[in-house]
Structure 1
Amino acid sequence: MTLYWRIFLLNAAVFLAAILLLLGPVTVSTPVLLGEALVLLAGLVVMLIANAVLLRIGLAPLARLTRAMATADLLRPGGRAPVTGPGEIAELTRTFNAMLARLEAERATSSGRALSAQEAERHRLAQELHDEVGQTLTAVLLQLKHAADRAPQAVQVDLRQAQETTRDGLEEIRRIARRLRPGVLEELGLHSALRALTTEFTTSRLSATTHITPGLPSLDPATELVLYRIAQEGLTNTARHARATRAEVHLRPHRDGGVSLLVRDDGHGIGAAPEGAGISGMRERSLLIGADLTIGPGPQGGTDIRLHVLGSTADPRTQENPR
């Protein structure tokens, strides 16, 4: 029975019962007596309560579906509304769940294309920084050295200072190029790339360390890149916003044959702050490889970023060479 007919028959039954009572034992005098007025008032209250209760029961599946629609998040896939209620509400819920599944698949596909294009653009920029700007600054550095060796003593100090400034600029260009394109990941593997990453983020105010558990399964290049980028984004957020003194990156095998990545700091945590573009980017990357990403407070404060790569992505039978 459709929702329309359920509500219609409910109200028809209530009004029919009222008419039968008025035609039968219940009568109304003119003027209305106090006892009759009380009976009518009690009947009205009973009718309203019955309508309210039955309508709430009948429309409860719609309320659940509304909550599911309001809380649906394509960056947290898998959530579905329970299929309950009469025929048309159940069909509406099934249609919504199917639409949500299609949107999640389309979002994952479009995010994959966008992130692939982003990585290609990063590769191009890193190459141009290294080949064009880096070589130009190297040539300037050599020219300054040549000029400083032949300049008068009064000018040499300024030229040496210009050399140091140019050398610092060249190191900054190389550092930016390494962040844009992790060459160490391609050349030496994920283990060395994570260790180099934490070394890069270690400063006088932040101590970053890497802890890698032996026995990790082999990973495909796309999974390694996602692990590296999420660790990089987590350390970047720690250095910029957490006011932390210690950060740790843990990479360990999971009991289901997959891999777990943990980025932990001792900062002030994220609290109730809304998720920014960095965290959204991490969620999109985790969707590319079907991994589970959770971000929350650590056991002793700070923030924990956990990424679980399922066993179907990593083959536990092949051990990765810790390059």
Structure 2
Amino acid sequence: MSLYWRIFLLNAVVLVAAALLLLGPVTVSTPVLFGEAVVLIAGLVVMLIANAVLLRIGLAPLARLTGAMATADLLKPGDRTTVTGSTEVVKLTQAFNAMLARLEAERATSSGRALSAQEAERQRIAQELHDEVGQTLTAVLLQLKRAADHAPQDVRADLQQAQETTRAGLDEIRRIARRLRPGVLEELGLHSALRALTTEFTSSRLRATAYITPGLPSLDPATELVLYWITQEGLTNTARHARATRVEVHLRPLPETKVELLVRDNGQGIGAAPEGAGISGMRERALLIGAHLDIGQGHHGGTEVRLHVTGSTADDRPQEMAR
């Protein structure tokens, strides 16, 4: 039965019941007696309540569909609405689910293209920092050393200090270049890159450790790059916001050729804080390889970032991003 006829019949039932009552035991005098007015008012209230209840029941599937529309999140794909009801509501639900699937596919495609362009730009900037700026600072270091060797004693200390400042700047440029484009990932592979990443984040206030389980399936370059960036973002969030003293990075195989990445700390937890650009970027990257990302409170406090990916192949968008 269509929604139109359902609402029509609901109201018709109430009106017919009211007419039958007026033709039957309920009578109205002129002028209206007090008892008759009480009966009419009570009957009107009962009809309004009955109509409201019946309409609420009839329109409940639409309310559930509206709630599902309000909570839909393209960064968390896969959730589909299973609202039941009249033919119109079922068709509307199917159309909404189909629209959601198209939007998720289009978002994944556009995100893949955007991130491909971003990766290419990051690689270009990293290359220029390493080749142009790095070589310039290296030349400045050599000139300062030559000047310091031939300078008077009272000027030599200042030149040596300038050398140290330039050397620190050169190290910072190289560090930024490594973070823009992880050369260690291409040169040494994912395992060594993750261990080097945890070593980079280890300090006097934070101890970072990587645990790589043997027997991992073969991963394509795009998946390895996403694993690396999500690990880096998770470690960055821990170092900046978690107030943690320990963070662990686990990479291990799961049944059915699955791989799980877990970044877990002992900090203050994510709480009710809204997701920022870093977490949104992590979700975007997870979508590129069809992975499932969970970020939340750990079992023993702190924050856990879990990424589940398939260990077989990648589609065209991640491969394009990897290139």
Category of TM-score, reference length = shorter chain: over 0.9
1:320 alignment counterpart: none
- Kindly, what percent of the aligned residue pairs are identical? 83
Please give the alpha-carbon distance, in whole angstroms, between the structure 2 residues aligned to 1:264 and 1:198: 12
What's 2:232 paired with?
232
1:299 CA displacement = 2.0
* Superposed counterparts of 1:226-305, under 5 Å: 226-305=226-305
Structure 1 stretches lacking a partner, 5+ long: 315-323
Q: Structure 1 counterpart of 2:14, which letter?
A: V
Q: For residue 39 of structure 1, report the CA deviation from its aligned partner.
A: 3.1
Distance in 1 (CA, whole Å) between partners of 2:313 and 2:26 is 75
Q: Which of 124-133 and 46-55 deviates more?
A: 46-55
After the TM superposition, which residues 41-80 of structure 1 pair with which residues of structure 2 at under 5 Å, given as runs?
Answer: 41-80=41-80
Gaps of 5+ in 2: 315-323
2:73 and 2:193 mapped to 1: Cα distance? 32
63-72 vs 79-88, greater mean Cα deviation: 79-88
* Paired position in structure 2 for 1:321: none
Q: Secondary structure at the match of 2:22?
A: helix
Q: Could you list the per-position Cα deviations for residues 137-193 of structure 1 after superposition, in whole angstroms to 9, with x for gaps in the alignment?
A: 000101111111111111111111111111111111110000011001001100000
Q: Summarize the alignment of residues 22-41 of structure 1 with structure 2, pairs less than 5 Å apart.
A: 22-41=22-41
Q: Whole-Å Cα distance in 1 between the matches of residues 259 and 24 of structure 2?
A: 76
Contact 1:249–1:264, Cα closer than 8 Å, also in 2: yes
Partners in 2 of 1:227 and 1:120 — Cα distance?
18
How far apart, in 1, do the equivalents of 2:36 and 2:154 lie? 115
Structure-2 separation of matches of 1:162 and 1:170: 12
Q: How many angstroms does 1:29 deviate by?
A: 2.5
Q: Could you say which residue in structure 2 is the equivalent of 1:130?
A: 130
1:75–1:283: 8 Å Cα contact kept in structure 2? yes
Q: Secondary structure at the match of 1:307?
A: strand
Partner of 1:178: 178
Q: Aligned with 2:262: secondary structure?
A: strand
Post-superposition CA distance 1:242-290 (Å, at most 9, x none): 1211111111111232110011111111111110000000000000111
Aligned pairs for 1:159-178 (under 5 A) are 159-178=159-178
**Contact 1:126-1:180 at 8 Å conserved across structures:** yes
SS in 1 for 2:271: coil
Shift of 1:88: 1.2
Aligned match of 1:193: 193
- Counterpart CA distance in 2 for 1:293 and 1:165 is 42
- Tell me which amino acid in the other structure corresponds to 2:198: T
Corresponding letter in the other structure for 1:91: K
Contact preservation (8 Å) 1:83, 1:94: no
Q: What is the aligned length? A: 314
Q: Which runs of 4+ in 1 moved over 6 A?
A: none
Using the TM superposition, name which of 126-135 and 299-308 deviates more: 299-308
Structure 2 CA distance for aligned equivalents of residues 308 and 20 of structure 1: 65
Please say which of residues 49-58 and 39-48 is displaced more in the overlay. 39-48
* Cα separation, 1, equivalents of 2:31 and 2:310: 79
Paired position in structure 2 for 1:141: 141
* Match in the other structure for 1:317: none
Q: Is the 8 A contact 2:144 2:163 kept in 1?
A: yes
Q: Which AA in structure 2 matches 1:106?
A: E
TM-score (norm 2): 0.93
* Cα distance in 2 between the residues matched to 1:41 and 1:229: 69
Question: CA 1:96/1:238 → structure 2, altered by over 3 Å: closer, same or farther?
Answer: same
Match of 2:317 in 1: none
Determine the C-alpha separation between the residues in 2 that align with 1:190 and 1:52.
Answer: 62
For residues 98-137 of structure 1, the aligned pairs below 5 Å read: 98-137=98-137
**TM-fit CA distance, 1:311:** 4.9
Do the aligned partners of residues 222 and 10 (structure 1) sit closer, same or farther apart at CA in structure 2, a change above 3 Å counting? same
Structure 1 match to 2:15 = 15
TM-score, normalization by structure 1:
0.93
Paired amino acid for 1:96: F
Distance, in Å, in 2 between the alignment partners of 1:100 and 1:213 is 37
What amino acid sits opposite 2:180 in the alignment?
A: L
Q: Secondary structure at the match of 1:217?
A: coil
CA distance in 2, matches of 1:103, 1:85: 25
Equivalent pair of 1:258/1:313 in contact (CA under 8 Å): no
Task: Report the CA distance between 1:312 and its aligned residue.
Answer: 4.9
In the TM superposition, residue 18 of structure 1 has moved relative to its aligned partner by 1.6
Taking the aligned partners of 1:313 and 1:303, their CA distance within structure 2 comes to 29
CA contact (8 A) 2:219 2:312 kept: no
The AA in structure 1 aligned to 2:8 is F
